[in-house]
């Protein structure tokens, strides 16, 4: 066995797990807006259970009818017995597949009240993030009611058939706001020193344990390191103390998390190395007798294997890696790691939840469609008619399309003009720290293509005439965007993002970057990291830079641009170039910039193919940036949808 520690049985309270992997809880927005479990949620949880984790945790359920604990429009509810039938469907699909079923209780506290005009907190501490509701101070009677709500919801979970209970007190949710000195300024018995601030957590744990009995383990998720030093949050020692207090109160396991949603330190982005936060779990483990577990940037099994072997943690919690591929545990056990769809920490999943949309995954288009056979989560039925398909361009859209079309039985040839597949990801993977992880989906998709029998022709450029002459039933254009070169640059050198990132060119002097999307910011960040004798001017017609960059990354990019003294010209347009002088228009009129080089980072759809193929009898599809330049999730999803359509 390659990962002996991960695949050793574990123990939680009175229960035994088949291995040390726990699918950690995440909201999905798949349930209905009134809290009922949907078929979509059941299918998703069934996929997680079939994936082979020893423990499968549900999304957190809110426990009050008013919805003060509800933080997401599509959050699961457990405030009434009428939810039990739906909850038992989830318990059943988990247990049927041999995993322990764990039900999470979650009052969203500072992030709650999604359908209301307020949220509840121990003290009124203003929100830093605009999408949360204005806070109200929770009264003592409301605190007592919340304990009762936890108990009743736990009872419903047990009645629904769940094996264990998890109480969540992390990132700004109710229990964490009591535990943190940042948000708890109370003068009564629920505020004060760390032990008093933990009182609500202790009361909830004790009451839930008393209700469910010793044969139903009750675990807790708490914050090990708040990263709120700039706002007067807990010290590390206080956070560690909260775990000791939870264990005293009877917690059967301790799940250690890092950061609040308001923390201004990178926690789960690619620039944080894998395994970076394990030392915090190790600190909790030093004092703990019950199992300790952690998620957070452990995307490949070598990281938790080492952590379990060294006694830092007892269980590997996988959340984002199992959103990207619920089959992760089984594929590791079967030595099929190359078949794991790799999470790239893009955090699309996360940002969607806060904008009230169902979970979506950049690298796994089947997310949320596990129960629909045409989406092929468990494999495809063969296509009615086998077709000869040519896919032009080996970027993410082309690779994903080719793999799926071939899995459906089509005879697929992929033409890639350069020596390697990967497309724009080959550039993106060089932009910032950790970006090389973006090559993982390239390797995965290339492997999937080869296993499905796609013929990969690298170094094979396409022309529309060559395509028109090919015998094929279908042609898919996934050749990427066309660079939009500004007219009239005269003698000024004009570079593409590829020239700068892959070509190694570093212009000197004043560099005008045209465009303000992720590509433009990527070039700017790349240049600033590399360094040189230049000043950057970013010219974007719109009012917002980086509209297509996930907020988790955008703030870091903007900070870098500020530190690098880049001039950001929003709402501006390049009018003309005269020699080395660029005329730029903006809201405050025109400015003249002295320019030494231009980077053309505006992109447009590919049009090279249309001439000879217009009116062709072949099926023609266009996907990814070739259709409209957008971001990675669009490329992969476009390619997938074409692949299941052909």
Binding footprint of another protein on the chain (CB under 8 A): 32-34, 36, 38, 73-74, 131, 351-352, 355-358, 360, 542-544, 547-548, 628, 630-631, 633-634, 637
Nearest Cα neighbor of 296 from 123, 315, 446 is 315
Cβ neighbourhood burial of 206 (10 Å; 0-12, 13-18, 19+) = middle
- Please identify, using beta-carbon distances, which residue of 297 and 627 lies nearer to another protein: 627
Collect all residues with Cβ–Cβ distance below 8 Å to 281 and sequence separation of at least 6.
224, 256, 292, 293, 294, 307, 312, 313
Least distance from C-beta 555 to another protein, angstroms?
Answer: 15
Least distance from C-beta 106 to another protein, angstroms?
Answer: 18
Let me know: does 470 contact 613? Beta carbons within 8 Å: no
- State the Cα–Cα distance between residues 313 and 13, nearest whole angstrom: 16
Least distance from C-beta 482 to another protein, angstroms?
Answer: 16
Least distance from C-beta 630 to another protein, angstroms?
Answer: 5
CA separation (Å) from 395 to 356, 370, 477, 520? 30, 25, 11, 19
- State the Cα–Cα distance between residues 103 and 542, nearest whole angstrom: 45
Number of neighbours of residue 311 by Cβ within 10 angstroms? 12
- Please identify, using beta-carbon distances, which residue of 167 and 344 lies nearer to another protein: 344
- Pairing mode of beta strands 15-17, 76-77: unpaired
Least distance from C-beta 552 to another protein, angstroms?
Answer: 14
- Please identify, using beta-carbon distances, which residue of 19 and 633 lies nearer to another protein: 633
- Please identify, using beta-carbon distances, which residue of 131 and 279 lies nearer to another protein: 131
Q: 578 by DSSP, 3-state: which?
A: strand
- Please identify, using beta-carbon distances, which residue of 217 and 518 lies nearer to another protein: 518
- Please identify, using beta-carbon distances, which residue of 31 and 376 lies nearer to another protein: 31
- State the Cα–Cα distance between residues 342 and 395, nearest whole angstrom: 16
- Please identify, using beta-carbon distances, which residue of 209 and 603 lies nearer to another protein: 603
Least distance from C-beta 33 to another protein, angstroms?
Answer: 4
Q: 462 by DSSP, 3-state: which?
A: coil
- Please identify, using beta-carbon distances, which residue of 24 and 75 lies nearer to another protein: 75
Least distance from C-beta 66 to another protein, angstroms?
Answer: 16
- Please identify, using beta-carbon distances, which residue of 417 and 630 lies nearer to another protein: 630
Q: 524 by DSSP, 3-state: which?
A: helix
Least distance from C-beta 553 to another protein, angstroms?
Answer: 13
* Token pair of 212 as six digits: 């469910």
Q: How many Å from the N-terminal Cα to the C-terminal Cα in the chain? A: 41
- State the Cα–Cα distance between residues 602 and 287, nearest whole angstrom: 55
Least distance from C-beta 279 to another protein, angstroms?
Answer: 35
């Amino acid at each position: 066995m390659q990962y002996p520690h991960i695949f050793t049985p574990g123990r939680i309270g009175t229960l035994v797990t088949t291995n040390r992997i726990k699918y950690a809880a995440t909201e999905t927005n798949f349930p209905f807006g009134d809290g009922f479990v949907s078929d979509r949620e059941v299918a998703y949880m069934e996929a997680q259970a079939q994936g082979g984790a020893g423990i499968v945790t549900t999304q957190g359920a809110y426990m009050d009818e008013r919805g003060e604990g509800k933080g997401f429009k599509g959050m699961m509810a457990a405030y009434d017995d009428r939810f039990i039938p739906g909850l038992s469907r989830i318990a059943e699909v988990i247990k049927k597949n041999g995993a322990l079923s764990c039900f999470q209780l979650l009052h969203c506290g500072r992030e709650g009240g999604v359908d209301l005009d307020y949220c509840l907190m121990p003290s009124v501490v203003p929100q830093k993030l605009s999408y949360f509701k204005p806070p109200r101070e929770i009264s003592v009677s409301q605190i007592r009611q919340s304990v009762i709500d936890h108990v009743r919801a736990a009872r419903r979970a047990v009645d629904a058939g769940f094996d264990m209970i998890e109480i969540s007190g992390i990132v700004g949710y109710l229990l964490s706001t009591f535990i943190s000195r940042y948000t708890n300024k109370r003068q009564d018995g629920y505020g004060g020193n760390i032990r008093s601030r933990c009182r609500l957590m202790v009361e909830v744990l004790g009451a839930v344990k008393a209700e469910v009995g010793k044969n139903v383990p009750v675990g807790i998720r708490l914050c090990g390191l708040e990263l709120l030093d700039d706002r007067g949050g807990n010290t590390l020692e206080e956070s560690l103390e909260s775990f000791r207090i939870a264990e005293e109160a009877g917690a059967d396991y301790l799940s250690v998390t890092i950061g609040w949603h308001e923390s201004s330190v990178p926690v789960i982005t690619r620039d944080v190395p894998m395994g970076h936060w394990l030392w915090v779990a190790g600190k909790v483990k030093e004092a703990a007798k019950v199992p300790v577990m952690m998620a957070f940037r452990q995307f490949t099994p070598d990281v938790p294997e080492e952590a379990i072997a060294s006694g830092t943690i007892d269980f590997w919690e996988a959340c984002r890696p199992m959103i990207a591929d619920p089959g992760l545990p089984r594929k590791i056990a079967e030595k099929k790691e190359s078949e794991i769809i790799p999470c790239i920490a893009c955090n699309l999943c996360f940002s969607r939840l806060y904008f009230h949309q169902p979970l979506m995954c950049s690298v796994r288009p089947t997310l949320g469609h596990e129960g629909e056979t045409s989406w092929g989560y468990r494999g495809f039925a063969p296509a009615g008619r086998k077709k000869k398909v040519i896919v032009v361009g080996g970027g993410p859209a082309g690779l994903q399309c080719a793999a799926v079309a071939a899995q459906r039985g089509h005879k697929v040839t992929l033409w890639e003009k350069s020596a390697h597949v990967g497309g724009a990801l080959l550039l993106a993977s060089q932009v910032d720290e950790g970006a090389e992880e973006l090559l993982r989906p390239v390797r995965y998709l290339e492997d999937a293509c080869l296993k499905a029998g796609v013929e990969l022709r690298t170094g094979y450029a396409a022309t529309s005439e060559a395509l028109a002459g090919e015998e094929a039933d279908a042609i898919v254009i996934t050749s990427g965007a066309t660079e939009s070169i500004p007219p009239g640059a005269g003698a000024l050198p004009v570079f593409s993002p590829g020239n700068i990132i892959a070509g190694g060119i570093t212009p000197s002097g004043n560099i005008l970057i045209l465009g303000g999307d992720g590509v433009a910011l990527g070039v700017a960040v790349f240049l600033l990291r590399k360094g040189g004798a230049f000043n950057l001017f970013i010219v974007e017609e719109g009012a917002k830079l980086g509209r297509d960059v996930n907020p988790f990354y955008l703030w870091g990019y903007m900070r870098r641009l500020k530190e690098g003294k880049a001039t950001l010209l929003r709402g501006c347009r390049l009018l003309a170039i005269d020699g080395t002088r660029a005329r730029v228009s903006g809201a405050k009129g025109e400015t003249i910039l002295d320019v030494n080089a231009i980077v053309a980072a505006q992109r447009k759809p590919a049009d090279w193919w249309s001439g000879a193929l217009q009116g062709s009898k072949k099926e023609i599809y266009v996907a990814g940036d070739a259709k409209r330049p957008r971001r990675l999730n669009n490329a992969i999803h476009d390619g997938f949808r074409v692949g299941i359509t052909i």
